[in-house]
Structure 1
């Protein structure tokens, strides 16, 4: 064993001496000399302009050692493009967001054309309705990302914005709509990460998987823990922040972490006490206890079938937005477990089975606003919402579906009991 270690050490010394005595191409001084002697080609102006007709992305240059700046421009719809491939030379650009390089059937040339996707189809339908004058005042054009999928958030003007999946389904995460400021800061990365976890897991998985902690708007909570070690992460990307020290909960409370924010800790009482410390919530603690019980039973040789089911926690660590009372009814609650208004549904009723509390939660986020939505008794959105003398049909998420009307009985969703849902 000693001889093997000696051999490795001698090999390392030989390699070190070889590198030291070899003229490296991309050393610290190479690019300085390269730029002075050879010069760099002018980059495309698209990266610096970055508007609807001129945009691009800055990348490492395709020159030796990446010494020069490089801007890969984005082609607009209708421009010639190339699908690329070995031996076809340096790529000077690619189709921009929402576009793909395809063969034009009219002349057989490859051009940037609009992607075909469910989100783009909804945009086309909206554009057609707008051209006919059939778009409602509370509607807006669906937002799609660069790959033709649904954008991370959906906003209802004057109400709130909520997170949605790539397929356009509403998921966890909601925040008061404050225009472009909300759209800029609410990225829903954590909420979408949880959604992908659920889609990726097998239905026959024995134990549930606990994902990263989110904030109520669907972003990553700046404090994330893996086992007993906790880190500071970027709220948008979830990546660990460089230069910020992590802590071990066996030795330090979560409050000593640089990015800890008490306002984001929904249950700070669980973070107090003496070592070893914790960073959890009632729902996560209950889930963890049940998982440990099953794991220990398996170790003890029992064939465990946990018939009681596992607790389902929201990505922010809460039990959800509805809770059972001692009498068996359901009530709507906020992220800290407090009841919202007097919304309630009795067991054995249709209102109980369909209760989602989406309207109640939206109303909670809107605070003291005088234009809150009208909710059903169980906290769901009333199918008809009225504002400033005009009424409109909405779906279960509160989104307007048809053009508003001053006469409620002309709406397609009108029923004689529309006020008493």
Structure 2
């Protein structure tokens, strides 16, 4: 029995193994595609012609046989077309093997100046355009010493993990390259841990899926459409990454192998239905033959992945998620005077007098920025234990604390970045006697100059702010 973990809806979808059918169905009968069906009941596959060993392409199931409902026939190698080759936007499955498809990072586009001539041309994604800019600077001799070339996937999008600023690595949104959840101090550590940003990517996708459902659509007038688009963008650019009762991340952006989930909806009284816990692999899959599902009180003693260590506290919940869960439950009225107090990090709090709700990260720790308790319009930069980092604070919606995150992770003896008072990167960074400009994520975007030659106003020349700052 194999169980697949899903983070939306019910906790587990259990697929029981079904015994193979003893008889083969005829063409009009409904049937199950069990493991033995193809060898037992289907013989209509045509063997594909062997491909040259050096032929580059992609193997696809193209359903060459109309009655191959169970996907019995082998994949067919579809050759890649190279940049500049003629291509076809509409293909029939019967001839795609002969015509081929555009190769990695290419798409079938109209040749400039033509209305009929389609060619395989390089995609115009943000990642590929940034690569082009890097190559041009390298050719012109204007490349900064710390400028890094982004890595793009076969579709031309950003790879989930990108490393900048002397090796700092972040998980990013695949289309924009903007930071998602997930941070590693250096590329050596990221490589040693095998960081793949699976959980950070998952959380990012959840946000993109949830925002269209969260934002109200009030009709098809032009004004309503523009308002919907504005509110949708605002939702997608928020900094609240925490979704209660979804799979938990590690600080690096990978999936945490240790997971627990409630058996009731968020905010409901779970007194009689405690959380259940289990282990998952790097791809968020669970196999019942290798582990078990146990009550939260037994997890640390019965499940290896829940063993108590510096990342996995007794009782499973990390500081912020513990406070968040307790407060949301209490605020919804599921408390009595006797249980109106709770303890976080050894400090007793009273829900009746403390209405501040923390902003948690998907790893269960406190998020980089928190709203001030006395004025929710203001905020401060926080470490994972909700301790303000130095004196960095400001207007909450104008903060990202990305610079402070890097600064706080480095040793005081390291060459740490210069941050603005609100925790963002100072657009002008200096090392020794040379300075350069960076973008809002701390990535170098100009050639170094001596301090005496440096234009102080990097922002006007090089620094393009994240659109969320203009909300």
TM-score, shorter chain, exceeding 0.5: yes
CA distance in 1, matches of 2:107, 2:434: 42
Match of 1:383 in 2: 427
In the alignment, the residues of structure 2 paired with residue 75 and residue 175 of structure 1 have an alpha-carbon distance, to the nearest angstrom, of 38
Aligned runs of 1:20-419 on 2, under 5 Å? 26-27=38-39, 41-46=49-54, 55-59=56-60, 66=72, 70-86=76-92, 88-91=94-97, 93-104=100-111, 108-165=116-173, 166-178=175-187, 182=191, 185-199=194-208, 200-201=210-211, 202-203=214-215, 209-210=243-244, 211-227=246-262, 228-235=275-282, 237-241=283-287, 243-249=289-295, 252-260=298-306, 262-263=308-309, 265-266=311-312, 268-269=313-314, 271=315, 279-293=316-330, 310-322=357-369, 332-337=381-386, 343-345=390-392, 350=394, 356-367=400-411, 370-376=414-420, 379-411=423-455, 413=457
Is the Cα–Cα contact under 8 Å of residues 322 and 330 in structure 1 kept in the other structure?
A: yes
By how many angstroms is 1:216 displaced?
A: 0.9
Please give the TM-score of this superposition, normalised by the length of structure 2.
0.63
- Please, what TM-score do these two structures have when normalized by structure 1? 0.69
User: Larger relative contact order (C-alpha < 8 A, sep ≥ 6)?
Assistant: 2
Q: Which moved more, 1:319-328 or 1:113-122?
A: 319-328
Over the residues paired in the alignment, what is the CA RMSD in angstroms? 4.3
Distance in 1 between the 2:368 and 2:455 partners?
30
What SS is found at the alignment partner of 1:150? coil
Q: 1:43 to 1:351 in 2, by over 3 A?
A: same
| Change in 2 beyond 3 A, CA 1:30/1:134 | same
Question: What CA distance in whole angstroms lies between the structure 2 residues aligned with 1:404 and 1:288?
Answer: 48
Cα–Cα, structure 1 residues 356 and 110, in superposed 2: closer, same or farther, change >3 Å? Answer: closer
* Contact preservation (8 Å) 2:163, 2:187: no
1 CA distance for matches of 2:76 and 2:370?
56
Q: Deviation of residue 248 (structure 1)?
A: 1.9
Return 5+ residue gaps in structure 2 as ranges.
1-19, 28-35, 66-70, 217-234, 236-241, 263-274, 335-353, 460-471
Structure 1 distance, partners of 2:26, 2:93, is: 35
Alpha-carbon deviations, 1:241-292, whole Å to 9, x = none?
Answer: 56422322256224532333644635x14x2xxxxxxx21232223223443
Aligned-residue offset at 1:175: 0.6
How far, CA to CA, are the matches of 1:284 and 1:57 in structure 2? 43
1:337, distance to aligned residue in structure 2 (A):
4.6
Higher-Rg structure is 1
Shift of 1:410: 2.2
What does residue 3 of structure 1 align with?
none
**Contact 1:153-1:183 at 8 Å conserved across structures:** no
Deviation at 1:213, TM superposition (A): 0.9
Judge conservation of contact 1:330–1:344 (CA < 8 Å) in 2. Answer: no
